[in-house]
């Protein structure tokens, strides 16, 4: 058995404990973020790829030959098996699984890599194997962060704060949301972010005029609409550093915000501050959710609240989704906060948005993003 470097030794043993509990002798890891967490390397699923972890002995990476060099450069896993692009990727994986001889193979059936096709093809190639569903393990096992992970998220949070300040300084009437995004992308790339995907930015004027939850501005796509005096620009920033993301939202006003908008933001901040103050290890997630959700409804800031009030943060690789919502805050959340979890906690009302990246410590909930909790003003 090759010595496993920190922090991966702890991660491997955590996963093996879950495998023992499920009675699985092998685990097939094919979830993009889980691969990075477990092995130090991940890659998009242009072709099927995975890592096989046994209860004892070294794991094995299996991927297309063109990706072997970057995999070996990044991973601690000593054995990397490859296949040519014209070869059967599932057959290559099955060959490794067959070598270990385990009758019960664990997999996360909620992994985006473990499709129906992958399940059926591997079952065809390994007819004597029994597949064990380690449901949602790829997300839930990673919810508590180590010091290195938190340091990367904190670095991303600093980049996010700087980008928000740059956008607030740089936007002006007659600019578009995409111009604000260009300012953010430039800040990201100059200050150490992985790439230039800034996050959702939109003009919130239409949402402010709607009834109900009025969240249409949150994930709006770019248009050619121009900013005008009095407009509110919604900005959500999601920079990544070595795949670890921080994120937060602010509303930026073109000109001084109206008294009504300033009051709404202050009330939102006060309710969210109460939620932050309640979060500490052992607190029920549904109780922390209720503090914000019920407060927003009680004060008439929202007519309805269909969305979650927060979700865990961590690794974001090339995957079909942009948020990890399996560990999130909502009325039915049946989990409790644990020390060193990291979350994006957010709320919106009347075309305004407010959120932070926070870490749960022994003494409570602490912000990693540090921008003023108010409506920002363009040109500041």
Boundaries of every domain in the chain: 8-140, 147-377
Helical pair 8-22 and 32-39, crossing angle rounded to 10 deg: 120
Residue 325: predicted pLDDT: 81
Specify the fold of 147-377: Creatine Amidinohydrolase (3.90.230)
pLDDT tens readout for residues 285-327: 999 999 999 999 999 999 999 999 999 999 999 777 777 788 9
pLDDT at 208 > cutoff 90:
no
Residue carrying structure tokens 């900005």: 235
> Would the pLDDT of 149 be above 80?
yes
- Write out the two tokens for 123: 């079952």
Task: Report d(CA 306, CA 322) in Å as an integer.
Answer: 19
At 360, list the tokens: 């749960």
Q: Please, which pLDDT band fits residue 81 given cuts at 50, 70 and 90? A: very high
Whether 215 shows a pLDDT value over 70: the answer reads: no
Rounded Cα–Cα distance for residues 192 and 308 (Å): 30
pLDDT of residue 127: 95
CA quadruple 311, 351, 238, 226: dihedral, nearest 10: 160
Fold match between domain 8-140 and domain 147-377: no
- pLDDT tens profile 84-99: 999 999 999 999 999 9
Query: Which residues, including other chains, have CB under 8 Å from residue 298's CB and lie 6 or more apart?
Result: none
- What pLDDT does 88 receive? 97
β-pair partners for 234: 202, 251
Closest to 40 (Cα-Cα) out of 178, 326, 243: 243
| The pLDDT of residue 207 | 47
Per cent of the chain over pLDDT 70 is 95
Query: Which one-letter DSSP state was computed for residue 310?
Result: E
Residue 80 has pLDDT above 70, yes or no: yes
CATH class of 8-140: alpha beta
Phi, psi (degrees; rounded to nearest 5) at 48: -60, 135
**Residues constituting the chain:** 380
Does residue 221 register a pLDDT over 90? no
Q: What is the pLDDT of residue 210?
A: 47
Residues 174 and 165: their CA atoms lie apart, in Å, by: 19
pTM score, whole prediction: 0.94
Tokens matching residue 298: 């009680």
Convert the pLDDT of each residue in 170-195 to its tens digit. 999 999 999 999 999 999 999 999 99
State the pLDDT confidence band at 380, using cuts at 50, 70 and 90.
confident
Q: Judge whether 96 and 54 are in contact, CB under 8 Å.
A: no
Structure tokens at 167: 């956008």
Model confidence pLDDT, tens digit, residues 15-60: 999 999 999 999 999 999 999 999 999 999 899 999 999 999 999 9
Question: How many Cα neighbours within 13 Å face the side chain of 373?
Answer: 19
* Residue 232 clears pLDDT 50, i.e. is over it: yes
E strand or H helix at 286, and its extent?
Answer: helix 285-298
Sheet containing strand 232-237, edge to edge, reads 201-203, 232-237, 248-253, 376-377
């Amino acid at each position: 058995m090759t010595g496993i470097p920190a922090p991966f030794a702890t991660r491997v043993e955590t996963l093996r404990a879950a495998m023992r509990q499920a009675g699985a002798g092998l685990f097939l890891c094919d979830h993009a973020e889980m691969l990075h967490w477990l092995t130090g390397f991940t890659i998009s699923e242009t072709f099927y790829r995975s890592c096989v972890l046994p209860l004892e002995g070294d794991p094995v990476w299996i991927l297309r030959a063109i990706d072997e060099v970057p995999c070996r450069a990044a991973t601690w896993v000593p054995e990397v098996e490859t296949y040519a692009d014209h070869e059967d990727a599932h057959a290559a994986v099955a060959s490794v699984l067959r070598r270990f001889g385990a009758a019960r193979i664990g997999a996360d059936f909620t992994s985006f890599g473990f499709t129906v096709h992958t399940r059926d093809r591997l079952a065809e190639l390994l007819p004597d194997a029994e597949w064990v569903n380690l449901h949602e393990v790829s997300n839930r096992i990673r919810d508590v962060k180590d010091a290195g992970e938190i340091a990367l998220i904190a670095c991303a949070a600093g980049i996010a704060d700087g980008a928000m300040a740059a956008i607030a300084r740089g936007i002006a009437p007659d600019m578009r949301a995409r111009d604000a995004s260009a300012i953010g992308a430039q800040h990201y790339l100059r200050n150490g972010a992985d790439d230039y995907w800034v996050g959702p930015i939109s003009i919130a004027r239409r949402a402010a005029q709607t009834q109900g939850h009025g969240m249409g501005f949150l994930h709006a796509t770019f248009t050619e609409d121009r900013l005008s005096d009095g407009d509110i620009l919604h900005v959500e920033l999601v920079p990544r550093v070595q795949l670890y993301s921080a994120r937060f939202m602010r509303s930026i006003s073109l000109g001084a915000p109206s008294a009504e908008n300033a009051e709404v933001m202050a009330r939102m901040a006060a309710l969210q501050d109460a939620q932050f103050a309640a979060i500490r290890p052992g607190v029920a997630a549904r109780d922390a959710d209720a503090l914000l959700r019920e407060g927003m409804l009680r004060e008439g800031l929202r007519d309805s609240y269909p969305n979650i009030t927060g979700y865990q943060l961590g690794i974001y690789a090339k995957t079909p989704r942009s948020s990890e919502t399996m560990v999130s805050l909502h009325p039915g959340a049946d989990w409790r906060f644990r020390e060193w979890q990291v979350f994006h906690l957010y709320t919106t009302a009347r075309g305004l948005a407010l959120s932070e990246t926070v870490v749960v410590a022994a003494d409570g909930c602490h912000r990693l993003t540090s921008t003023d909790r108010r409506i920002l003003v363009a040109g500041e």
